[in-house]
């Protein structure tokens, strides 16, 4: 048995027979059954069927897959929710009411987002990538642009955060902000259509930028100036002024986890077909446009509405208005229908384009079916969680926070006025900061940026500067509601600074800074902050509670541009 | 006696290649090291297999991004490492990957001079 050379390996002074370690091991180890792959192969191809799975196999397959995705959402949701609850308990000495219901809602939000993101990845992305790669080659530019417009518009309906917007009109006082109330309650369809059209237009302009390789700087200035002009026009009209906050908030809402990847996939295909080199920076820019155009579209719709309905108070009451249940009291069925209505058009559009523009079928159809089903399921769960968990939590916090400085309900304020206000602003800044740091999209962007700038703009610096900008913006937005400042000067001020810095900055920092505005407002932050603002406005008696998101997206533009300029000055000093 | 153009070439070396899903290589390397492997090289790859297709919808849990481990082991220990890696990588579950090993004609790397000298002297003594 033992190979001949084994005899020589011993010490010559002790010629005792020795057992080779390898032979010892072969005696104690598992038995290996040898089998010819040829036979197995012949058997497997003759009757190919699904392998029989044991329970342990299911566990091994599913557990890592699910836990990674679930933990991603936990990391984004739990710290924020805990902070809100703890702030209420510790600083304001109020316990969270309906805590178990909110906890259930948060769980639904996390599960729903997990499923939804997975569904988008498997159900929609393969379509979009395939179309993005092939359509620009096979169809004339006009068809591509038309498809881009439809994709942007319809993807907006599928954004999880848009549901929060539809629901936001309930707490408004129709006497003080008649047209805003009108827009949100009677014509929410128009509002959503305006936003969708705005995103569609933004996507078309983004595609044109890919084709003609326009500079981001020029584009930002060319788009921002008309937007600001429309805002000034609306802001000077007392009937339209309250709509500004909502209009600019809409921009932040639309750039979520559905629109951005879908549109980017198309954009990369268009850029490749236009013969542009594979420029890693070309991905940036669309997000910016998608947050500016909807603002303008909403303002335009509002202008049309004001001229169409001169006196909202004279309108007859909406039929059955008294019988309408509060929007958070709906059954899960209603949320399911909403989810189907949000996702079905998108799937239909992508499928039609795939079938008739490209004329081919997709491989792996079962994955796509799985993706669509899971996306609908996830969105249903998310919507339930939104109405049961996220919005009540934000609303509660918004209503309770002013008690720090405001004598609500005949009581005494908890803290002296300046301290209470400072505490509230600090609270707002912390929410903005915390929500931004937890955003996974920002982390991914930070890695890209670090590579692109050869380490000159480190990932941590980007995250910190964006988070600081969001914190500042959130605090400003909350201050706007507390002191009931008008929206226009704030908007003009923030965007004028942004514009000035844009002119001074390098092209790459411009794309980066303007995109960081859209990246930060994820599907958890948006409903929470929106509800917070509305609750706050009710508690302090402000006319409307929009504008926090708008300021929170303007903040990082300024802060990232400023940091970019500072880095350039520093590096110029060294060389 | 030792010349400059002389190198030590090791025989009886076996290459174990193990393909697992992205992210699980660390645990596999740990098991292999415990079983006596002296090192491992990991590189990234993409690939799918027949089991993944047969899993149906469950196939989405199998990541097409893979990690490929190269472990060069002495022939006597290779089977032991092979089995330990098989267990650590949970290769008895469909879709988890595969492992194979092959004899290498020769390999060379740093061999401590005193070890080389000992075996060199031994060879001289008997040769």
Instruction: Mention every residue, 6+ apart, whose C-beta is less than 8 A from residue A281.
Output: A452, A508, A511
A451, A459 in Cβ contact below 8 A? Answer: no
Pairwise pLDDT comparison (B42 vs A531), residue with the higher score = B42
Which pLDDT score is estimated for A36? 83
Torsion of CA A483, A489, A491, A495, to 10 degrees: -140
CA A50 to chain B, closest CA, distance in angstroms equals: 5
Q: How many residues does chain A have?
A: 575
Residue of B nearest to A55 (CA): B93
CB contact under 8 A, A25 and B76: yes
Mutate to test the interface with B, among A3, A7, A18, A60 (most CBs of B within 10 A): A60
Kindly report, residue by residue over B11-24, the tens digit of the pLDDT: 899 999 999 998 88
pLDDT given at position A62: 86
* B36 in A contact zone (CB under 8 Å): no
The answer to whether the CB atoms of A60 and B50 lie below 8 A apart is: no
DSSP label at B14? E
8 Å CB contact of A25 and B96? no
Q: Rounded to whole angstroms, how far apart are CA atoms A225 and A3?
A: 86
Q: Which residue has the tokens 């600001």?
A: A228
Q: Report the residue from A22, A61, A367 with minimal CB separation from B95.
A: A61
Q: Give me the total of CB pairs closer than 8 Å, taking one residue from chain A and one from chain B.
A: 61
Residue A65 at interface with chain B, using a CB cutoff of 8 Å: yes
Gap between the Cα atoms of A52 and B55, Å rounded:
9
Look over chain B and give the mean of its residue pLDDT values, rounded to a whole number: 84
Q: What is the pLDDT of residue A6?
A: 43
Instruction: Spell out which residues of chain A touch residue B77, defining contact as CB-CB under 8 Å.
Output: 21-22, 25
Confidence of residue B68 (pLDDT cuts 50, 70, 90): very high
Q: Tell me the C-alpha distance between A337 and A298, whole Å.
A: 26
Strand B13-21 and strand B97-104: pairing? antiparallel
Assess B126–A contact: CB distance below 8 Å, yes or no.
yes
Interface contact flag, B61 A26, Cβ < 8 Å: no
The angle, 0 to 180 degrees and rounded to 10, between the axes of the packed helices A243-254 and A216-236 is 150
Tokens, residue A156: 């907006």
Residues on chain B touching A363 (C-beta within 8 angstroms) = none
Q: How far is A45 from chain B (nearest CA, A)?
A: 10
Do residues A386 and A102 touch, judged by C-beta distance below 8 A?
no
- Selected for mutation to probe chain A from B76, B84, B119 (highest A CB count within 10 Å) is B76
Consecutive H or E run containing A163: helix A162-166
Residues 6 or more apart in contact with residue A389 via CB below 8 angstroms = A101, A102, A103, A104, A105, A106, A107, A108, A109
**From CA A66, how far away is CA A259, in angstroms rounded?**
24
Taking every pair of Cα atoms in chain A, the longest distance, rounded to a whole number of angstroms, is 115
Give the dihedral sign, CA A46/A52/A58/A60: negative
A53 contacts chain B (CB < 8 A): yes
Q: Write down the pLDDT at residue B124.
A: 47
> Contact at 8 Å (CB) between A244 and A492?
no
Q: Does A318 touch chain B (CB under 8 A)?
A: no
Residue ranges in A309-439 assigned as alpha helix (H): 332-352, 365-385, 391-400, 417-437
Does B80 reach chain A within 8 Å, measured CB to CB?
Answer: yes
B116 to chain A, any CB pair closer than 8 A? The answer is: no
Burial class (CB in 10 A: 0-12, 13-18, 19+), A129: middle
* Phi-psi map region of B12: left, alpha, beta (phi>0 left; psi -120 to 50 alpha): left
Tokens, residue A203 = 């996507």
Residue A184 CB: number of other CB atoms within 10 A?
A: 24
- For B68, residues 6+ apart whose C-beta sits below 8 A from its C-beta are B17, B18, B19, B42, B43, B44, B45
Our CA dihedral for B77, B81, B82, B86, rounded to 10 degrees, sits at 160
Facing B93 at nearest CB: one of A26, A57, A367: A57
Interface touch A367/B60, C-beta < 8 Å:
yes
Phi, psi of B3 (to 5 degrees): -100, 165
* Nearest Cα residue in chain B from A31: B83
Please indicate whether, in this complex, the C-beta atoms of B54 and A51 are within 8 angstroms of each other: yes
Contact B58 A366 (CB under 8 A): no
Check A25 against B54: CB less than 8 A apart: no
pTM equals 0.76
Name A160's Cβ contacts closer than 8 Å, sequence gap at least 6. Answer: A112, A113, A116, A256, A257, A258, A379, A382, A383, A386, A523
Residues in A closer than 8 angstroms to B83, CB to CB, are 29-30, 32
Cβ contact A51–B94 (<8 Å): yes
Q: How far is A31 from chain B (nearest CA, A)?
A: 10
Chain A contact for B48 (CB, 8 A cutoff): no
Tell me which residue in B50, B51, B76 faces A20 most closely, judged by beta carbons: B76
- Measure the CA angle with vertex B65, ends A516 and B21; round to 5°: 120
State the pLDDT at residue A170.
59
Which residues have C-beta within 8 Å of that of residue A14, sequence separation ≥ 6?
A: none
> To the nearest whole angstrom, how far is the Cα of B32 from the nearest Cα of chain A?
15
| Confidence at B9, pLDDT banded by 50, 70, 90 | confident
Comparing CB atoms, the residue among A20, A22, A370 nearest residue B57 is A370
Which residues have CB under 8 Å from B118's CB, separation 6+?
A: none
- Counting Cα atoms < 13 Å in the Cβ hemisphere of A18 gives 14
Show the tokens assigned to A272: 């490749």
Residue with tokens 């370690």: A21
Residue B117 tokens, joined: 């000298």
What does the block give as tokens for B85?
A: 């890696």
d(CA A119, CA A433): 29
Q: What percent of chain B shows pLDDT beyond 90?
A: 39
Whether A32 and chain B come into contact, CB under 8 Å, resolves to yes
- DSSP letter (8 states) at residue A356: I
CB atoms within 10 A of CB A425: 18
Packing angle, helices A55-90 and A440-452, rounded to 10: 100
Pairwise CB contact (< 8 Å): A29 & B79: yes
Residues facing residue B43 across a β-bridge: B68
Domains of chain A, by residue range, sit at: 1-52, 96-313+331-395+407-574
Question: In degrees, to the nearest 5, what angle opens at C-alpha B121 toward C-alphas B118 and B124?
Answer: 155
Local confidence pLDDT in tens for the 575 residues of chain A: 444 444 444 455 556 667 776 666 666 667 778 888 888 778 777 766 667 788 888 888 888 888 888 888 888 788 888 888 888 787 777 777 777 888 888 899 889 888 988 888 888 887 887 887 788 778 888 888 888 898 888 888 777 677 666 666 655 666 677 777 777 777 777 888 888 898 889 888 888 887 777 777 888 888 888 888 888 888 888 778 888 888 888 877 777 777 777 777 777 777 777 665 555 555 566 777 777 888 888 888 888 888 877 665 555 555 444 445 544 445 567 777 778 878 888 888 888 888 877 777 766 777 888 888 998 898 888 888 888 888 888 888 888 877 777 655 555 666 777 787 888 888 888 888 888 887 767 777 777 777 777 777 788 888 888 889 989 998 998 888 888 888 888 888 888 898 899 888 877 778 778 877 766 667 777 888 888 888 888 777 777 778 888 888 888 889 988 988 888 777 665 44
CB-neighbour burial class of residue B100 (10 A; exposed 0-12, middle 13-18, buried 19+): exposed
Name the closest residue on chain B to residue A363, using Cα atoms: B53
Dihedral pair phi/psi, residue B70, rounded to 5°:
-105, 125
Contact A53 B51 (CB under 8 A): no
């Amino acid at each position: 048995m033992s190979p001949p050379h084994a005899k020589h390996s011993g010490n010559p002074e002790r010629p005792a027979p020795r057992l080779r370690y390898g032979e010892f091991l072969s005696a104690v180890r598992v038995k290996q059954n040898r089998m010819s792959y040829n036979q197995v192969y012949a058997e497997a191809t003759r009757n190919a069927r699904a392998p029989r799975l044991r329970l342990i196999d299911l566990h091994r397959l599913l557990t890592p897959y699910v836990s990674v995705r679930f933990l991603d959402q936990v990391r984004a949701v739990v710290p924020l929710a805990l902070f809100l609850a703890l702030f209420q308990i510790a600083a304001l000495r109020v316990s969270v009411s309906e805590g178990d219901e909110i906890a259930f809602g948060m769980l639904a939000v996390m599960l729903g987002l997990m499923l939804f993101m997975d569904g988008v990845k498997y159900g929609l992305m393969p379509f979009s990538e395939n179309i993005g790669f092939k359509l620009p080659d096979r169809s004339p530019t006009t068809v591509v642009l038309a498809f881009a417009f439809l994709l942007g518009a319809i993807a907006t309906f599928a954004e999880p955060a848009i549901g929060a917007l539809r629901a936001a009109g309930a707490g408004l006082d129709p006497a003080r902000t008649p047209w805003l109330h009108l827009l949100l309650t009677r014509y929410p369809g128009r509002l959503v259509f305006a936003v969708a059209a705005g995103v569609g237009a933004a996507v078309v302009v983004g595609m044109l930028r890919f084709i003609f390789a326009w500079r981001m700087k020029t584009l930002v200035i060319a788009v921002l100036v008309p937007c600001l002009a429309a805002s000034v026009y609306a802001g000077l009209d007392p009937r339209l002024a309250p709509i500004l906050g909502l209009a600019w908030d809409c921009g932040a809402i639309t750039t979520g986890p559905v629109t951005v990847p879908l549109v980017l996939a198309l954009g990369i295909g268009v850029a490749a077909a236009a013969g542009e080199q594979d420029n890693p920076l070309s991905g940036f820019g669309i997000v910016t446009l998608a947050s500016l155009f909807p603002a303008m579209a909403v303002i335009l719709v509002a202008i049309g509405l004001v001229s169409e309905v001169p006196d909202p108070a004279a309108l007859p009451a909406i039929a059955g208005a008294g019988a309408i249940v509060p929007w958070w009291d709906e059954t899960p069925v209603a949320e399911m229908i909403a989810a189907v209505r949000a996702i079905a058009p998108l799937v239909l559009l992508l499928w039609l384009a795939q079938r008739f523009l490209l004329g081919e079928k997709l491989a792996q159809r079962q994955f796509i079916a799985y993706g669509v089903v899971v996306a609908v399921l996830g969105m249903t769960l998310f919507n339930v969680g939104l109405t049961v968990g996220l919005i009540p939590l934000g609303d509660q916090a918004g209503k309770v926070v002013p008690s720090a400085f405001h004598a609500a309900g005949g009581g005494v304020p908890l803290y002296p006025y300046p301290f209470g206000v400072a505490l509230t602003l600090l609270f707002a800044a912390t929410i903005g900061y915390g929500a931004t740091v937890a955003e996974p999209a920002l982390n991914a962007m930070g890695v890209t940026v670090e590579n692109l700038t050869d380490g000159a703009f480190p990932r941590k610096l980007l995250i910190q500067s964006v988070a600081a900008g969001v914190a500042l913006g959130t605090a400003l937005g909350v201050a706007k509601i507390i002191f009931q400042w008008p929206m226009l000067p704030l908007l003009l001020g923030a965007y004028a600074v942004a514009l000035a810095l844009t002119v001074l900055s390098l092209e790459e920092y411009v794309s980066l800074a303007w995109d960081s505005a859209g990246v930060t407002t994820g599907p958890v932050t948006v409903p929470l902050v929106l509800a917070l603002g509305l609750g706050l406005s009710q508690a302090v008696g402000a006319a409307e509670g929009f504008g926090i998101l708008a300021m929170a997206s303007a903040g990082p533009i300024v802060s990232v541009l400023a940091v970019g300029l500072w880095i350039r000055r520093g590096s110029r000093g060294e060389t | 006696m030792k010349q400059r153009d002389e190198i030590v070439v090791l025989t009886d070396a076996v290459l174990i290649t193990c393909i697992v899903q992205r992210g699980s290589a660390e645990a596999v390397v740990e098991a292999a090291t415990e079983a006596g492997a002296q090192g491992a090289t990991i590189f990234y790859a993409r690939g799918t297999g027949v089991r993944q297709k047969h899993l149906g919808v469950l196939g989405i849990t199998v990541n097409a991004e893979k990690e490929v481990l190269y472990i060069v082991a002495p022939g006597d220990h290779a089977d032991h490492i092979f089995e330990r890696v098989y267990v650590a990588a949970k290769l008895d579950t469909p879709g988890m990957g595969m492992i194979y090993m092959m004899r290498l004609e020769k390999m060379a790397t740093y061999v401590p001079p005193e070890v080389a000298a000992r075996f060199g002297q031994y060879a001289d003594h008997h040769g």
